């Protein structure tokens, strides 16, 4: 891991390989290690830039207003700042997993010229329902007293396919350990930010970029049906359904995820 100062934070990131830059953005409440199994399989296909977002992994939380949280646009601007700081001027293949995808929408809006193509992994274009928003705000309010371990336990059945949990897939314990080690303030900040994110469904037809939409067959949080309609709405969207995986497709069954991303690189730029 390397670190670089980006605005008010010290940002940790992995930078490996050479060629077309691919920026891999992790989900909530995780860190860059969720991409390890995919990275192993991508080999030397491109240059991989894999940060820990503000408050996650080894990146500092910086100056955060706890009542407001961190909006998706702020994470997006951190990523643009990272690319500036490490001298990546060429457009990137932007890949976002779940919350990383929500950040991706904002990145596209604010830094469109920096995106060559788009990988959307187990993510959504819609906003939260009122119930989902209330659940997020409840967690944001109570996570300090509950502790991050509680979040890990509560999220497990939503993140993984039942088969992954029953078979004791090693990624289940590894992911729980990452969540349990996460700063509760960072968890609260992201929950408030996600609760405030807008619906971008209407914008999908205007995203005329090569796009890979990848979803676990058993994903309950961003379902295959929802991702299929996103792929159909995007002029160049191509859907991959990953078998034997839930929401955490990149760790539950990384082979098809890596194959879809390798194909996205091969599809070239806009």
Q: Which is nearer to ligand MLT, 46 or 191 (CB)?
A: 191
Q: Which is nearer to ligand MLT, 39 or 139 (CB)?
A: 139
Q: Which is nearer to ligand MLT, 193 or 256 (CB)?
A: 193
Contacting residues for 163 by C-beta, under 8 A, at least 6 apart: 218, 244
Q: Which residues of the chain form contacts with ligand MLT (CB under 6 A)?
A: 27-28, 98-99, 194, 221
* Shortest distance in whole angstroms from residue 3 CB to ligand MLT: 23
Residue 64 has phi, psi (to 5 degrees) of -130, 135
The whole-angstrom separation of Cα 46 and Cα 4 is 21
CA pseudo-torsion sign 107, 219, 58, 17: negative
How does DSSP assign 76-136, residue by residue? HHHHHHHHHHTT--S-EEEEEETHHHHHHHHHHHH-GGGEEEEEEES--SS---HHHHHHH
* Shortest distance in whole angstroms from residue 89 CB to ligand MLT: 28
Contacting residues for 43 by C-beta, under 8 A, at least 6 apart: none
* Shortest distance in whole angstroms from residue 54 CB to ligand MLT: 14
Chain-centroid distance, C-alpha 206? 22
* Shortest distance in whole angstroms from residue 20 CB to ligand MLT: 25
Q: Which is nearer to ligand MLT, 20 or 95 (CB)?
A: 95
* Shortest distance in whole angstroms from residue 222 CB to ligand MLT: 8
Q: Which is nearer to ligand MLT, 56 or 265 (CB)?
A: 56
Q: Which is nearer to ligand MLT, 210 or 246 (CB)?
A: 246
* Shortest distance in whole angstroms from residue 5 CB to ligand MLT: 26
The whole-angstrom separation of Cα 94 and Cα 116 is 7
Q: For residue 112, what are the β-bridge partners?
A: none
Distances (CA, A) of 255 to 58, 76, 121, 211, 241: 27, 27, 14, 18, 12
């Amino acid at each position: 891991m390397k670190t670089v100062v980006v605005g008010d934070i010290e940002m940790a990131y992995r930078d490996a390989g050479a060629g077309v830059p691919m920026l891999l953005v992790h989900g909530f409440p995780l860190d860059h290690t969720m991409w390890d199994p995919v990275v192993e399989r991508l080999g030397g296909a491109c240059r991989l830039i894999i940060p820990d977002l503000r408050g996650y992994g080894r990146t500092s939380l910086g100056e955060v207003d706890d009542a407001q949280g961190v909006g998706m646009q702020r994470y997006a601007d951190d990523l643009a700042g990272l690319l500036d700081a490490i001298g990546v001027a060429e457009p990137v293949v932007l890949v976002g997993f779940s919350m990383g995808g929500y950040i991706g929408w904002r990145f596209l809006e604010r830094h469109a010229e920096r995106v060559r193509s788009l990988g959307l992994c187990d993510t959504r274009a819609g906003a939260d329902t009122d119930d989902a928003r209330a659940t997020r705000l409840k967690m944001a309010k109570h996570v300090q007293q509950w502790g991050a371990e509680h979040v890990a336990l509560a999220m497990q059945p939503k993140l993984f396919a039942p088969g992954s949990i029953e078979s004791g897939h090693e990624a289940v314990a590894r992911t729980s350990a990452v969540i349990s080690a996460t700063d509760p303030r960072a968890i609260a900040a992201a929950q408030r930010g996600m609760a405030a994110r807008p619906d971008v469904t209407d914008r999908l037809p205007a995203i005329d970029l090569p796009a890979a939409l990848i979803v676990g067959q058993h994903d309950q949080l961003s379902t295959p049906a929802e991702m299929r309609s996103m792929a159909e709405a995007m002029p160049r969207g191509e859907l991959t359904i990953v078998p034997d995986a839930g929401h955490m497709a990149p760790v539950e069954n990384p082979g098809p995820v890596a194959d879809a991303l390798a194909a996205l690189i091969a599809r070239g730029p806009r």
